[in-house]
Structure 1
Amino acid sequence: MKAEYLMFVFCSVFFLIVTPLYWLSSGDLTGTTALVMTFLLVTLIAFYLGFHARKMEPRPEDRKDGEIAEGAGELGFFPPFSWWPLWCALCLATMTLGVAIGWWLFIIGAALGVVALCGLIFEYYRGEYAH
């Protein structure tokens, strides 16, 4: 994680240097605020990665003597395709449209949204991909 940590530290330093230069050259408050927030976000990520890089043992790619074969094996769980995000998005679109058209449509979208959200959350508890 040290490589990722250093990458975010360099980005943080870059935004720290660029932000006052942007303010002095343009005087734009919106862009300067966006750059300050970007600096803070990148610094937060760098702090998080640096904090955890010190606590965990080095990965093979972090060591100079690391071999490619050491990184072999299971990488994690990658979910298969799912239709539930589509139904959640359609319910959210119906709720948004309900704010403009009428509250009755919002209530229908919210009720269907609860079902779609439960389906998304509990997708891996039943069926073919259950753990």
Structure 2
Amino acid sequence: MRGEAWLFTGVALFFAVTCSIYAVYAPDPAGIAALTVSGLMGALIAAFLWRQAYRTGPRPEDRKDVRVHEVSGRRGYFPARSYYPAISAAGTALLGLGTVQGLWLFLIGVGVLIPGVYGFVFQNPDPAR
């Protein structure tokens, strides 16, 4: 997790430096707000990843001398085929169109998005988990 944490720490620092320079030379409140929020989001992800790195300890992927057999084992459930990403994408697109076209299309988007998200969450076939 340390590699990912360093990556997002760099992203947060980049947006912090960019925001400070932008605030001096172009006092546009919308640009300053966008750069500030971008930096805060990068810092939030970096803080989470640093916390996870210290909480779980080093992974085999974090070492340079790791062998392939050390990374074996179950890392998660990744289905071969799933329709839930397409359903969620269609629901999100309908939500976006519904904000422009009208409430009726927005409500249809909500009705399509909820089963997609529900399927993502409860897709694990293992009944013990």
The alignment's TM-score, normalised by the length of structure 2, stands at: 0.68
1:52 maps to 2:52? yes
Aligned AA (2:87) = P
SS at match of 2:36: helix
Match of 2:11 in 1: 11
Q: Deviations over 1:9-43 (max 9, x none)?
A: 12211111111101112221111110000111111
Q: Deviations over 1:34-57 (max 9, x none)?
A: 000011111111111101100113
* Residue from 99, 105, 121 that aligns with 2:118: 121
Aligned AA (1:70) = E
List gaps (5 residues or longer) in structure 1. none
- The whole-number CA distance in structure 1 between the counterparts of 2:74 and 2:89 is 31
Structure 1 residues 125 and 54: CA distance shift in structure 2, 3 A: closer
Structure 1 residues 50 and 113: CA distance shift in structure 2, 3 A: same
Q: Is 1:11–1:42's contact at 8 Å kept on the other side of the alignment?
A: yes
List gaps (5 residues or longer) in structure 2. none
Match of 1:63 in 2: 63
1:5 CA displacement:
0.8
The alignment's TM-score, normalised by the length of structure 1, stands at: 0.67
Identity of aligned residues (%): 31
State the superposition RMSD in angstroms.
3.7
- The whole-number CA distance in structure 2 between the counterparts of 1:123 and 1:9 is 29
